[in-house]
Structure 1
């Protein structure tokens, strides 16, 4: 399966049981809800997926299970966040063996690589695999900016096809589209800039709160893409307090609380993460409760683009 790199792609959470084991039953429930809502792909192994806490065996189980669950309806994309080039190449090999359709790649972890080192890391991994790749540009959280000049160097690799744009600079979408046209697809990675990014020409949205609200996220994207701005904006204004739960160090806990409210997740996280407590829990619970109480009726949005 090729990847069009467009539409809503959830960075899904990993579901755990009370015994800190993979909860594949609830995971399947959530994936089904995503597919039913009309997402364009499933992204595994990101921050929301708590990938840094998963064993290699658990990652393989989740990859194979997701490939099985989607039944070829949408691509399955694996996030690569490794400390070494060797590790990234191996991760790409494992992803391919497990049936993944594509990769999302962060720059090297921990070591703050310079531009040359970062470009070489991406290139060497890209050359090692036939899987299509989306570069994840998030200097705020990961300390390395992928510049226009670096992206230009990376276009020599045919399988580097997209950018997840998470700089928080909305103008960067225009810069990428103006410089590269359709050579590089652009997907926003910031929930609180979701609709704005679509209006600036983003091809897709790698979303977080979609884990709890898949239909609402897809509706905002599809309506905005179709030029039905007023309808999209009504939903987006309701959605924004919930979307702001994604821009927090505790985004995993926040989003899992929202998944519980919509019946497609559990709150179990893997230590050192712990469920929210005290005033912060009360604050997040109040936002979710208010959102659920005023959840909008959605217009028909599937197939309008």
Structure 2
């Protein structure tokens, strides 16, 4: 890998205007905002970035903008969410034109679940398509890959370098941590449980909380790395309360709202996703000050 990939990697939002087009100025602002908060990388085209709604041309333009704004300061990861091996391979090839350091790719996610052999072959073809390292984005509830299958893929397919493990099951995350190859990168996207994930040795996180409050998540990461678990638990509790205000079917819209409350231009969600409603906005506004106070907290050894 051209850059070390670890730590807090926000899946940045994709701002859309009222016509549903990408607001490029706001996208650039978002990249600069999260980098200014000390994150260790950025990811675009993920679930929080509404990547499932992006055309190939749009994904390519977002890649170009993110690489330009990052200027090599942090690794840039491209998210690919699609329903066929052919389309995923096409998008993976497009990403090689830009300063992209890795790919985050979901298993096929429409209603028809491929069996384990088909899923294995999906990632094998993608590995043969690109030299970029691949992180499996294990998020699809009806096609959730077992630790055993993930380990098999990482052991046998050279370009698959790690997993972004989503959903709320810390046991599956723990099983993956103790069975994965020694050189595998295991990222936690269990937003409610980032602290225990870090304490268990996760290589970092690519998740919605870091997109909404990146500086706070950097403070949590630093606290755990410093062994300051008293502070880490305190930050965890504030992050959990905040997460409970944004976690809903319109999560990307709520992340955008939380960012807008911090003065960042975020645009609208892409239809048909609804914007943050009044009740959600009230809860987010109430929780934000209590979590943002940790943004500049210096992690000190306990």
Residues 149 and 22 of structure 1, relative CA distance in 2, 3 Å threshold: same
User: What RMSD, in angstroms, separates the aligned Cα atoms of the two structures?
Assistant: 2.0
1:253 maps to 2:253: yes
Q: C-alpha distance in 1, partners of 2:54/2:81?
A: 12
- Residue 123 (structure 1) aligns with: 124
Do the aligned partners of 2:138 and 2:165 also contact (CA within 8 Å) in 1? yes
CA contact (8 A) 1:30 1:211 kept: no
Structure 2: runs of 5+ lacking an equivalent: none
- CA-CA distance at 1:267 after TM superposition: 4.6
Q: Answer with 19-28 or 218-227: which moved more.
A: 19-28
Partner of 2:151: 152
Displaced runs of 4 or more, over 4 A: none
TM-score when scaled to structure 2? 0.91
* Pair 1:296 & 2:297 matched: no
3-state SS of 1:136 partner? strand
> More displaced, 193-202 or 143-152?
143-152
TM-score, normalised with respect to structure 1 = 0.90
Distance 2:57 2:207 in 1: 26
Give yes or no for contact 1:102–1:133 (8 Å, CA) kept in 2. Answer: yes
Can you list the C-alpha shifts for 1:15-40, whole angstroms capped at 9, x where unaligned? Answer: 12234322222222221121122212
Residues 31-87 of structure 1: CA distance to partner in whole angstroms, max 9, x if unpaired?
A: 112112221221111121112322322211110010000001111111122221111
**8 Å Cα contact 2:250/2:275 also seen in 1:** no
CA distance in 2: counterparts of 1:268 and 1:157, whole angstroms: 39
Deviations 1:246-298 (A, max 9, x none): 53211011111111111123351111112133xxx32x222222223433243
Aligned partner of residue 127 in structure 2, secondary structure? helix
For 1:133, the equivalent position in structure 2 comes to: 134
Give secondary structure in 1 for the equivalent of 2:261.
helix
Q: Is the 8 A contact 1:107 1:144 kept in 2?
A: yes
Distance 1:145 1:20 in 2: 31
Count matched residues: 297
After superposition, residues 30-45 of structure 1 pair within 5 angstroms as 30-45=30-45
- 90-99 vs 291-300, which moves further: 291-300
**Aligned-pair CA distance for 1:98:** 3.0
